[in-house]
């Protein structure tokens, strides 16, 4: 990650050095005219060549403030994940200014996760520590051994780093009594996420992209105040306030899927017949989110009416009223059930949820999990992480495999 000092480089744009740098930025998907004005729910383009820095700062801060989840975000300490990159530095400065403008103020905690992925990680940590010190906010950091052991298999380097980072941020927030953790995903990240999930194959819920706020742990929310801002607008804000940031060289490595989309696919699409492609992807995300929300609400309603939690931790569903419902709605009902009961979801795929839906619709069809050596009940479904589903007299029972059953299977 290299040091970037933007201090008023716009004044020197016509020098060869800055022109080459700007052309390089355009080559990887940055554009001077922000696409924000092309999307609903995002900031209008900030054409700042003729705009005073104070006006730009005011508009940026207003956009961040509007994206926060109400006054409750200021009622307790607020943890901010800061990598040292432009987006997270911009978020920190924005929240710092908003906190200082409040009568009582709010304690901001700057949290930096130091991944063992790059030799420059120590410099990033020192940069963020110095920035937190200058702003007079508490600073915490933690080295996360992403490459240690064989834990990467099945989730990839990026996936494991993300999981470890969020788990640590939750620990920091819990220790500080914080109820919110803020991270710096932008509108650009949202478009990339939606396209990435679409190409991998995802359901309607996946097309919704990243939520502006979601549960991180019990009683704690992860918030994304920059989802309505494009990265170029964050950099303009930092440039006008004279705040440097760090650049991560690995963000240009197109061997990573997200970088490939960011630097190769989206710029090519935007340079061709679809200049508003990123904005269109975000609109699809908004629409998919609304549809997924309605579907999830209906699924939850079905669970409340036809499901009953048992003392042994299982859930029993009455199949009769559910048998003629749409398969997709039933599958969503089971997704909601897994989330509500906090059963492991990592290895659950669309195929498993569809199996359960078919079990409700046609209880006579025998189902079994791939690779399972046990002889299944003709109306049973063995699922990942030790969860089983069995039908009896018009009732579907789903829950962890009972100890007696597991012991019997082991002695068979």
Q: Do 339 and 197 reside in the same domain of the chain? A: no
Are the C-beta atoms of residues 267 and 29 closer than 8 Å to each other? yes
Whether 292 is in a domain gets the answer: no
Please give the average pLDDT of every successive group of 10 residues along the chain, which has 412 residues: 42 32 30 31 48 78 95 94 97 96 88 88 96 98 83 67 93 97 97 93 87 94 96 94 91 88 94 95 95 93 95 93 92 92 85 92 52 52 92 92 54 38
Cα separation, 61 vs 58, in Å, equals: 5
Instruction: State how many domains the chain has.
Output: 2
* Residues 135 and 280 grouped into a single domain: yes
What is the C-alpha separation between 279 and 39, in angstroms, rounded?
5
CA distance 366 to 177: 50
Indicate whether 25 and 64 sit together in one domain. Answer: yes
- 387 lies in a domain? yes
DSSP 289-332: HHHHHHHHHHHHHHHHHHEEE-TTS-EEEE-GGGTTS-HHHHHH
Q: What is the pTM of this model?
A: 0.73
Judgement on whether residues 101 and 219 belong to the same structural domain of the protein: yes
> Is residue 58 in a domain?
yes
Alpha helices (runs of H) in 242-276, residue ranges in sequence order: 257-260, 266-271
Structural domain of 381: 310-411
Asked if 257 and 398 sit in the same domain, the reply is no
Kindly state whether residues 32 and 85 are assigned to the same domain.
yes
Q: Is residue 262 part of a domain?
A: yes
Residue 249 confidence (pLDDT): 84
pLDDT of 255 reads 87
pLDDT at residue 345, rounded to an integer: 83
On whether both 104 and 178 belong to a single domain, the answer is yes
Quote the radius of gyration of the chain (alpha carbons, Å): 24
Same domain, 115 and 31: yes
């Amino acid at each position: 990650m290299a040091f970037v000092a933007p201090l008023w480089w716009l004044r020197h744009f016509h020098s060869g050095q800055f022109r080459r740098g700007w052309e390089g930025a355009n080559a990887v998907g940055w554009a001077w005219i922000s696409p924000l004005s092309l999307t609903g729910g995002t900031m209008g383009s900030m054409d700042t060549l003729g705009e005073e820095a104070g006006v730009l700062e005011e508009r940026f801060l207003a956009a961040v403030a509007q994206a926060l989840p109400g006054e409750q975000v200021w009622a307790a300490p607020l943890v901010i994940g800061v990598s040292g990159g432009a987006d997270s530095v911009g978020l920190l400065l924005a929240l710092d200014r908003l906190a200082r403008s409040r009568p009582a103020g709010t304690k901001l905690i700057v949290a930096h996760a130091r991944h063992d992925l790059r030799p420059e990680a120590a410099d990033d940590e020192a940069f963020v520590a110095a920035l937190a010190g200058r702003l007079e906010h508490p600073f915490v950091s933690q080295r996360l051994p992403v490459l240690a052991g064989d834990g990467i298999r099945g989730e990839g380097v990026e996936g494991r780093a993300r999981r470890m980072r969020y788990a640590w941020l939750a620990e920091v927030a819990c220790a500080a009594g914080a109820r919110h953790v803020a991270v710096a995903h932008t509108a650009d990240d949202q478009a990339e996420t939606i396209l990435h999930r679409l190409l991998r194959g995802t359901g309607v819920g996946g097309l919704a992209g990243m939520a502006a706020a979601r549960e991180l742990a019990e009683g704690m929310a992860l918030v994304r105040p920059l989802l309505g801002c494009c990265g170029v607008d964050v950099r303009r804000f930092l440039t006008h306030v004279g705040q440097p940031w760090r650049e991560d060289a690995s963000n240009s490595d197109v061997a990573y899927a997200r970088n490939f989309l960011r630097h190769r696919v989206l710029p090519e699409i935007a340079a061709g017949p679809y200049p508003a492609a990123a904005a269109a992807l975000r609109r699809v995300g908004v629409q998919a989110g609304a549809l997924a929300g309605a579907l999830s609400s209906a699924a939850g309603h079905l669970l409340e009416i036809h499901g009953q939690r048992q003392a042994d931790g299982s859930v029993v569903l009455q199949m009769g009223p559910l048998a003629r419902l749409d398969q997709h709605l039933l599958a969503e009902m089971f997704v909601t059930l897994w989330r509500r009961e906090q059963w492991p979801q990592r290895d659950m795929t669309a195929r498993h949820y569809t199996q359960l839906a078919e079990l409700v619709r046609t209880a006579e069809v025998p189902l079994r999990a791939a690779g399972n050596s046990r002889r299944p009940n003709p109306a049973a479904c063995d699922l990942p992480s030790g969860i089983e589903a069995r039908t009896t007299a018009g009732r579907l029972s789903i829950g962890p495999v009972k100890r007696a059953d597991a012991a019997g299977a082991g002695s068979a």
